[in-house]
Structure 1
């Protein structure tokens, strides 16, 4: 019998009340792709990294077990502060966020060459996109008040979050 070992993160599961908007965020804005998903008897999606052989890293489910006692999916990241993806194309992501009407925050990781963008999905799950800044151009992240990311300070607001299901051609 093999010894116990972790081989990598298999997936993150997100509950949602708006499957279409969640799929649009993760696919059209972030750049993941739909992949085949087993029929569990309730709606959902498996979303994968676009590179060849990319695994389904985000599993989304709606209805059925996603619904709590009130009949809606919970929101926010709760005890999990955020999900982080390694990315490239820092300025392109900012352009996508602007086109979709999304709010975001920027950050320079102290003592490193890493740049980060923070944004929320339609269910209030915070996403961190991390970039190797040395290849992202000369314009550094905007660390001004109101644009700089502050750990623990949420900037998500359901009331002002854009209606992503009505957007077309963002990515």
Structure 2
């Protein structure tokens, strides 16, 4: 058998606030919580639908999420962002607005890809990508202050 990467299995995110993280991924993004084994520390799994099954976002809290100083780190460090695909661009903008979240928008040059960038409660940046040909309503707002600029963080801890 030839070795090959066949997909993304999961992404793990540390949190100091499991309840806020659970609300963000369920209520704002609309993901379903998946069954999670009892690892002996708190956490949650969220199913991310993909062709052929589901990737899983693993959220863990408590001891394993804490650094040497006893605090969960904030931000995504060397990982710039996690990208998810979606439909319903305008609905996600409305959800972000309703949740009081800041976000950025982008139209990938030379393509029909619309993107929204938002941070989860732990400072992990998410890119949500849409096929603009399937979307109704307005295209991404590319104005100053709303347009996504790579490398420029807009995360503000609450």
What is the alpha-carbon distance in structure 2 between the residues aligned to residue 145 and residue 122 of structure 1? 24
Contact 1:33 1:50 in 2 (8 A): no
Q: Deviations over 1:11-51 (max 9, x none)?
A: 00000000011111111111111111011110001110257
Contact 1:107 1:149 in 2 (8 A): yes
What runs of 5+ residues in structure 2 fail to find an aligned partner? none
What is the alpha-carbon distance in structure 2 between the residues aligned to residue 51 and residue 78 of structure 1? 26
Contact 2:18 2:61 in 1 (8 A): yes
What is the alpha-carbon distance in structure 2 between the residues aligned to residue 45 and residue 55 of structure 1? 15
What is the alpha-carbon distance in structure 1 between the residues aligned to residue 24 and residue 118 of structure 2? 10
What is the alpha-carbon distance in structure 2 between the residues aligned to residue 137 and residue 20 of structure 1? 33
Contact 1:31 1:50 in 2 (8 A): no
Q: Secondary structure at the match of 2:78?
A: coil
> TM-score, structure 1 length as denominator?
0.88
User: Which stretch of the first structure deviates more once superposed, 48-57 or 142-151?
Assistant: 48-57
1:72 matched to 2:41 = no
User: Which stretch of the first structure deviates more once superposed, 44-53 or 12-21?
Assistant: 44-53
What is the alpha-carbon distance in structure 1 between the residues aligned to residue 74 and residue 53 of structure 2? 27
Q: Secondary structure at the match of 1:145?
A: coil
Q: Deviations over 1:90-149 (max 9, x none)?
A: 000000001100000000000000000000000000000000001212511100000000
Aligned CA RMSD, in angstroms, stands at 1.5
- How far residue 3 of structure 1 moved from its aligned partner, in angstroms, is 2.6
Q: Which residue of 1 aligns with 2:86?
A: 87
**CA separation of 1:86 and 1:143: change in aligned 2, threshold 3 A:** same
Total equivalences in the alignment:
158
